């Protein structure tokens, strides 16, 4: 250990001559500790919310989705499925057709997103676990059925055990419109409701209705087209490798997306909120370092005789300045380490015990306590930020020390 560092450590742990300096030193360290711990906790909470949102969306979003790069639909979905069926890692591939329609039940109506899927679509995801009323069923020997989100079910006042059928309307894609018969401009179909699902995510619950793929193609006037081909991979499959192989085999006319790419906007929004909170807390951390600068300024004044003694023993101005620069680093780094440890402990306690609850009705929420997920990249970013702030503190301390030494030199002359 170098001499400036030894002296700086001695100044840090020893009791100061004036009580005010002791109090300000403790406040300075505590300020860095609290700000650093807050950074770790807040970033971990945002990670928890992001993981929660993505986990819920993953219950319905496919692992990999194939869409047309140009245009709305894939012209021949069956041929695309045949082309990718031999790719290692692909377990299932299903065509789906999604478009806007109007749903009418009794005197109630609302625009909905209609998604036509195969009958066994529930084997691709966790749809069965999301059913809150009825069951997943699109076809039987009697009729065809629809599975509605909780939003359409409430708006249309429809239940699985109701006898009435939901009427679906979609504009004609082809042909001329007869102004004398406006309803002739729409294609229509009617289905019973077999079940109601709830994901607790507005993007699905608000207006989504699942119908048989054949019914959707008939309503939207399509033959073999699909707006998307959804894939389920095997447990051992490498997602990036499979996506690369899919792109190589299908070419540039198709876009391959994983779950993260499918929910890019939601992911981006959570990240923007996370790093905005990071910047605000970083600003608070910078303000907290002013206490460190104040502590060092008072310490320089208190140690004037010690500084004079060191200079009399042969220490030059650079060595004396490094003592207080080192002490600024020590205060900042000690506060950073203690803050990170404190933040990690608080996150682990919240993760295991859920002490801090989310206000609201627990029956209407996915979780009752704030979710927490610690990522080491966030810890490293926080540590880097504190180190940068410590560097700023050291630079300011060096400037103050040099002015002090130059003033003493001029007075002695």
* 48-69 pLDDT per residue, tens: 988 887 787 778 899 999 999 9
pLDDT at 362: 64
pLDDT at 183: 66
pLDDT at 341: 95
Q: Is the pTM of this model over 0.85?
A: no
Integer Cα distance of 30 and 18 in angstroms: 19
Residue 212 shares a structural domain with residue 327: no
Residue 194 shares a structural domain with residue 292: no
274 CB burial (10 A radius; 0-12, 13-18, 19+):
middle
317 CB burial (10 A radius; 0-12, 13-18, 19+):
middle
pLDDT at 18: 62
Integer Cα distance of 392 and 288 in angstroms: 12
pLDDT digits (tens, 9 = 90+) for 138-173: 999 889 999 999 999 999 999 998 889 999 999 887
pLDDT at 332: 84
Residue 197 shares a structural domain with residue 225: yes
Integer Cα distance of 238 and 152 in angstroms: 37
pLDDT at 184: 67
What is the total count of domains within the chain? 2
Residue 137 shares a structural domain with residue 174: yes
Domain stops at, among 207, 233, 262: 262
Residue 94 shares a structural domain with residue 27: no
Domain stops at, among 216, 246, 262: 262
Q: Tell me which residue range forms the domain holding 285.
A: 3-57+266-412
Residue 248 shares a structural domain with residue 147: yes
pLDDT at 180: 60
H or E stretch covering 235 = none
Residue 241 shares a structural domain with residue 121: yes
E-assigned strand segments in 43-178:
64-68, 90-105, 108-117, 131-134, 145-149, 166-171
Indicate the angle between helix axes 304-312 and 264-302, nearest 10 degrees: 70
pLDDT at 347: 94
Residue 282 shares a structural domain with residue 195: no
Residues in the chain, pLDDT under 50: none
Q: What does 162-188 look like in DSSP terms, one character per residue?
A: -SS-EEEEEE-SSS---TT-GGGGEEE
pLDDT at 17: 59
Residue 238 shares a structural domain with residue 128: yes
Residue 95 shares a structural domain with residue 41: no
pLDDT at 174: 74
pLDDT at 387: 84
Residue 210 shares a structural domain with residue 243: yes
Domain stops at, among 262, 282, 307: 262
Contact 144, 191 (CB under 8 A): yes
């Amino acid at each position: 250990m170098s001499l400036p560092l030894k002296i700086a450590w001695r100044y840090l742990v020893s009791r100061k001559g004036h009580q005010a300096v002791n109090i300000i030193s403790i406040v300075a360290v505590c300020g860095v500790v609290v700000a650093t711990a807050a950074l770790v906790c807040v970033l971990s909470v945002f990670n928890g919310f992001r993981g929660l949102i993505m986990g819920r969306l993953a219950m319905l979003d496919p692992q990999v989705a194939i869409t047309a790069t140009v245009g709305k639909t894939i012209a021949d979905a069956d041929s695309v499925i045949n082309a990718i069926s031999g790719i290692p890692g692909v377990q299932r591939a299903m065509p789906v057709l999604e478009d806007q329609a109007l749903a009418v039940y009794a005197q109630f109506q609302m625009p909905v997103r209609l998604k036509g899927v195969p009958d066994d679509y529930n084997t691709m995801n966790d749809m069965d676990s999301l059913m809150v009323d009825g069951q997943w069923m699109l076809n039987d020997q009697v009729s065809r059925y629809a599975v509605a989100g909780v939003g359409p079910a409430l708006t249309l006042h429809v239940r699985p055990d109701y006898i009435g059928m939901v009427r679906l309307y979609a504009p004609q894609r082809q042909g001329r419109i007869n102004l004398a018969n406006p309803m002739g401009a729409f294609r229509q179909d009617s289905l019973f409701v077999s079940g109601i699902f709830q994901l607790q995510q507005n993007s699905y619950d608000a207006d989504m209705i699942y119908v048989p793929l054949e019914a959707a193609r008939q309503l939207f006037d399509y033959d073999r087209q699909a707006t998307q081909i959804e894939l389920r991979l095997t447990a051992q499959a490498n997602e990036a490798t499979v996506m690369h192989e899919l792109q190589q085999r299908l070419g540039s006319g198709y876009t391959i997306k994983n779950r993260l790419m499918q929910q890019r906007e939601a992911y981006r929004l959570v990240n923007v909120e996370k790093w905005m909170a990071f910047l605000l807390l970083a600003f608070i951390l910078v303000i907290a370092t002013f206490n460190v600068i104040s502590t060092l300024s008072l310490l320089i004044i208190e140690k004037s005789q010690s500084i004079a003694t060191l200079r009399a023993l042969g220490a030059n101005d650079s060595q004396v300045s490094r003592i207080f620069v080192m002490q600024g680093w020590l205060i900042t780094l000690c506060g950073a380490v203690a803050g990170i440890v404190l933040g990690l402990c608080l996150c682990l306690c919240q993760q295991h015990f859920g002490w801090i609850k989310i206000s609201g009705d627990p029956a209407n929420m996915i979780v009752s306590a704030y979710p927490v997920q610690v990522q080491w990249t966030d810890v490293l970013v926080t540590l880097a930020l504190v180190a940068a702030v410590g560097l700023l503190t050291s630079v300011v301390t060096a400037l103050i020390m040099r002015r002090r030494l130059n003033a003493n030199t001029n007075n002695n002359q």
